[in-house]
């Protein structure tokens, strides 16, 4: 006998909708499965066989995050197939900062009402993100929570685990004055600062589809929903050929919070403001919201989604590898003696 409860359905939870959602998402999950992924979706745990060939001392590295209030834009635009990419990106881009290769990903979707087709759209984005990151979507959870979330809203979070050889874990203490910081372009706002974005544009009362001249004729909603760029494959290619000293994922807190996390306490990051290729969306946010430039750099990525620190003698090779892997990478500054601060001028 299949699971079904009229009493539970009367309380707002339809278990059969959950089963349908699982069936609809299976094709998306299947495309993410890499060597090592065992079993099928629907079990109590996600299984992955760890291949430690060539790794002397395997260390697991994990990361978890959510999409945040960017989801409000997805609700307003009724577009749900890209926020999953954001969810994956926010986790795997953190893991790669340690030098670890992401292996598996799990998602958690909490909904006010389970619309199987919508859940499948969300998972399709998660699957796309996993493919971009080269990791397997080995499990997840969809929780129907009536009375807790509005029926047309949901929350989305994820968790990823990767592996790195202990001797290859990136060590910021290896950095020195004169080391160079290279910025890698972002795809947009990514998935940070959306509480401020929503306030600046009053998104609930704005035509998100209307073309905006400052955004090249694109609508504000389309621009803001641009998914977070996933840097895993290009960074792994770089790590295989260059002695990268540290990596910073530029998320909430912008330059001023994230770059210091990747450099020693006795060094500063000197950033050349004129070198930064600020994306039009950030100029537009600053203009409409009348936001000081320091606050912009302290909230958003400003067009630089990730920074890598290398010896000055490795700069040319680093740029060559990143560009050959499809990244827009360029020098944005260097390290000096200091007190773990960021100086932008």
Residue-wise pLDDT for 95-146, tens only, equals 999 999 999 999 999 999 999 999 999 999 999 999 999 999 999 999 999 9
∠ CA 154-156-161, nearest 5°, is 165
Average pLDDT, integer, range 284-303: 98
pLDDT of residue 47: 87
Using one digit for the tens of pLDDT, what is the confidence trace for 159-203? 999 999 999 999 888 999 999 999 999 999 999 999 999 999 999
Q: Is the pLDDT of residue 267 over 80?
A: yes
In this structure, are residues 156 and 67 in contact, taking their beta carbons and an 8 Å threshold? yes
In this structure, are residues 245 and 156 in contact, taking their beta carbons and an 8 Å threshold? no
Distance CA(160)–CA(91), nearest Å, equals 6
Give the confidence band of 24 by pLDDT, cuts at 50, 70, 90. Answer: confident
Put simply, whether the predicted model's pTM sits higher than 0.85 gets the answer yes
Distance CA(275)–CA(278), nearest Å, equals 9
Directed axis angle between helix 15-30 and helix 116-133, to 10°? 30
Percent helix, percent strand, percent coil in the chain, to nearest 5:
40, 25, 35
Using one digit for the tens of pLDDT, what is the confidence trace for 314-332? 999 999 999 999 999 999 9
For the chain, percent of residues with pLDDT exceeding 90: 83
Cα-based distances in Å from 182 to 7, 104, 304: 58, 28, 9
The token pair that represents 67 in the structure block: 């999409």
* Best CA proximity match to 129, nearest among 119, 138, 137: 137
pLDDT of residue 29: 77
Distance CA(220)–CA(235), nearest Å, equals 30
Distance CA(102)–CA(134), nearest Å, equals 7
């Amino acid at each position: 006998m299949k699971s079904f409860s009229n009493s539970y359905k009367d309380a707002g939870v339809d278990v059969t909708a959950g089963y349908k959602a699982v069936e609809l998402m299976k094709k998306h999950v299947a495309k993410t499965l890499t060597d090592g992924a065992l079993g099928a979706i629907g079990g109590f745990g996600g299984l992955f066989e760890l291949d430690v060939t060539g790794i002397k001392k395997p260390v697991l590295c994990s990361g978890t995050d959510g999409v945040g209030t960017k989801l409000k834009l997805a609700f307003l635009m009724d577009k749900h197939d890209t926020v999953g990419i954001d969810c994956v990106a926010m986790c795997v881009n953190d893991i790669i900062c340690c030098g670890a290769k992401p292996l598996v990903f799990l998602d958690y979707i909490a909904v006010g009402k389970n619309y199987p087709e919508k859940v499948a759209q969300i998972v399709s984005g998660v699957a796309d993100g996993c493919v971009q990151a080269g990791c397997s979507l080995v499990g997840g959870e969809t929780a129907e929570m009536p009375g807790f979330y509005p029926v047309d809203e949901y929350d989305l979070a994820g968790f990823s685990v990767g592996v790195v050889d202990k001797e290859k874990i990136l060590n910021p203490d290896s950095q020195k004055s004169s080391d160079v910081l290279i910025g890698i372009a972002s795809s947009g706002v990514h998935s940070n600062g959306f509480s401020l974005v929503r306030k600046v544009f009053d998104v609930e009362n704005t035509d998100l589809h209307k073309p905006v001249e400052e955004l090249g004729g694109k609508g504000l909603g389309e621009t803001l929903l641009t998914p977070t760029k996933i840097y895993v494959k290009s960074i792994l290619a770089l790590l295989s050929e260059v002695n990268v000293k540290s990596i910073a994922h530029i998320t909430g807190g912008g330059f001023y919070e994230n770059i210091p996390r990747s450099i020693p306490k006795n060094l500063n990051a000197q950033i050349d403001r004129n070198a930064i290729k600020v994306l039009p969306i950030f100029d537009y946010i600053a203009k409409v919201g009348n936001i000081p430039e320091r606050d912009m750099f302290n909230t958003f990525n400003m067009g630089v989604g990730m920074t890598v620190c290398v010896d000055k003698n490795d700069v040319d090779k680093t740029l060559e590898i990143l560009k050959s892997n499809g990244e827009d990478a360029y020098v944005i500054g260097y390290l000096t003696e200091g007190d773990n601060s960021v100086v932008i001028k």
